[in-house]
Amino acid sequence: MTDVLIIFALILLNGLFATAELSIASAKKLRLEESARRGSEGARVALDLAARPSDFLSTIQIGITLISIFNGAFGQASLAAQLGRQLAGFAPLAPYADMLALAVVIGSITLASIVFGELVPKRIAMQYPEATAALLARPLQRLSWLMTPLVRLLAAVTELIIRLCGLGRQASDAPTTEEISGMLREGSDAGVLDRTEYDIARRGLSLRQQRVSALMTPRVDLETVDLQADIGSNLRTIAARPYSRFPVIDGDPAQVLGVIHAGDLFAQTIRAGTLDAVDLHGALRQPLQVPASANAMGLLELFRERRAELALVVDEHGQLLGMVTLTDLMGAVVGALPGIEAREADAVQRDDGSWLLDGAMELERLREVLGTQAPFPDEAAQGYQTLAGMLLHQLGHVPAPSEQIEWKGHRFEVVDMDRNRIDRVLVSPVEPAARYNTPVK
């Protein structure tokens, strides 16, 4: 009986090694760091071991190998011999007693080792990786110290073989954007994040992939103040629009001299007591200018650094393409924002299930409305960023109203043009029975 208990204890010890190996390797670094900040010495040691995988893996492998050797030798010398003597007492089994005893002992030890030495411990490690890593890290560290000479030898040999194989150092374990997106989806599916939190996090993560040109208000939609017009006309333009900032031109809409704030003009009027004192030149401010290829995250960082709220989007010749504001960037993260400068809704669902969409809708938003993650035709190669860009690429020319294309079960029909710009697009299912069920966010 004592022999059985010794072997079972060795199997349990093997299970501890297996648990330590999987838990330290799979524990999330951020959770261990948070536990270490709260004072957990075990979490700190687990982080240290995870940073030196060759050392702790060598220690574990030495322990598991020694246990396996001892179990095999002890089982054969003790249990198999005892069982063989008992089986020899049965005349029919006597010729095969030793062989049967060895088979039974090996089979029993193997089964117990698989269940109690591997499967159960690893299931525990997978279910509670951070907790088990913190619990077992310190004993494993002490064992590693005792085996330091052998561990160092094995680690050196391992590193040499890795280098000879051309594998180099281990790849960085920093999560990629795709992995973070996957974790967000898992959090949303598990109910850790509600739908709004998930959408905000997902959109924020995609800011670096979004071009400023997809978020800007195009030049043709901008309300401008023209220095060649009389002051009364300009003031009426400002008073009639629900905006606070206006690009200033001098006859040429493509050349912007600066931006004026309606509040500055109001302050001039209050100080002077008359509208005749309004000086548009004196109220000019020089805004940021960014290329259309700039990404939204970079612009947000620039806004924060310069303490700015808007930027003019220009091409390589300095020609004005549009204007983007801090509100536009925030809208790209949290969705349509209410307020006096809010634009018309970019997506309206009709009673028949079709969608009336803004041609300037960025592709990420379009995918959200259509409930798909599929790339649009030649999206990466052509570099277009909006629904209008996709239609122009597919049609190959500036369309007229009623022109349409089909893509993955959706019909895209141009319903309104603003000169050469695609203003509104009707998207409906190709099959009349199909219905969209993705709500507008």
Tell me the angle at which helices 148-164 and 129-146 cross, rounded to the nearest 10 degrees: 110
3-state secondary structure of 202: helix
Quote the CA–CA distance of 77 and 436 in Å, as a whole number. Answer: 72
Top CATH class, 347-429 = alpha beta
Strand partners, 412: 405, 427
Is residue 441 scored above 50 in pLDDT?
A: no
Alpha helices, H only, 241-338: 262-272, 296-306, 326-334
Quote the CA–CA distance of 376 and 307 in Å, as a whole number. Answer: 36
- Nearest-CA neighbor of 80 among 98, 95, 66? 98
Q: What pLDDT is recorded for position 283?
A: 83
Q: What pLDDT is recorded for position 330?
A: 87
Average pLDDT of the segment spanning 339-366? 76
Where residue 124 falls among pLDDT bands split at 50, 70, 90? very high
Sign of CA dihedral 287, 288, 292, 296: negative
Quote the CA–CA distance of 343 and 45 in Å, as a whole number. Answer: 54
Query: Between 279 and 76, where is the model more confident?
Result: 279
Q: What pLDDT is recorded for position 412?
A: 95
> Is residue 193 within 8 Å of 205, Cβ to Cβ?
no
The architecture of the domain spanning 212-334 is Roll (3.10)
Average pLDDT of the segment spanning 375-389? 85
Per the prediction, the chain carries an average pLDDT of 82
- DSSP per residue over 24-74, as a string? HHHS-HHHHHHHHHTT-HHHHHHHHHHH-HHHHHHHHHHHHHHHHHHHHHH
Alpha helices, H only, 206-341: 231-240, 262-272, 296-306, 326-334
DSSP character at residue 342: P
Q: What is the pLDDT of residues 236-249, one digit of tens each?
A: 888 887 778 888 88
- Nearest-CA neighbor of 312 among 331, 329, 293, 325? 325
Please state the domain extents for the chain: 2-164, 175-205, 212-334, 347-429
- DSSP per residue over 130-185, as a string? HHHHHHHHHHHHHHHHHTHHHHHHHHHHHHHHHHHTT--SPPP-PPPHHHHHHHHH
Give the rounded percent of residues in the chain with a pLDDT score beyond 90.
16
Average pLDDT of the segment spanning 112-139? 90
Q: What pLDDT is recorded for position 171?
A: 54
Q: What pLDDT is recorded for position 301?
A: 92
Where residue 436 falls among pLDDT bands split at 50, 70, 90? very low
Q: What pLDDT is recorded for position 99?
A: 79
Q: What pLDDT is recorded for position 339?
A: 53
Is residue 212 scored above 80 in pLDDT?
A: yes
Average pLDDT of the segment spanning 344-366? 83
Where residue 168 falls among pLDDT bands split at 50, 70, 90? low
> Is residue 28 within 8 Å of 129, Cβ to Cβ?
yes
pTM attached to this predicted model: 0.54
Q: What is the pLDDT of residues 181-205, one digit of tens each?
A: 777 888 878 777 888 888 888 888 8
Average the pLDDT over each of 40-49, 177-186, 381-390, 400-409 and give the range with the smallest value. Answer: 177-186
Name the phi and psi angles at 386, rounded to 5. Answer: -130, 170
Q: What pLDDT is recorded for position 433?
A: 46
Q: What pLDDT is recorded for position 123?
A: 92
Q: What is the pLDDT of residues 309-348, one digit of tens each?
A: 899 998 888 888 889 988 888 888 887 665 544 455 678 8
Average pLDDT of the segment spanning 357-364? 86
DSSP character at residue 285: B
Q: What pLDDT is recorded for position 413?
A: 94
Q: What pLDDT is recorded for position 276?
A: 67
Where residue 428 falls among pLDDT bands split at 50, 70, 90? very high
Quote the CA–CA distance of 84 and 78 in Å, as a whole number. Answer: 10
DSSP character at residue 117: I
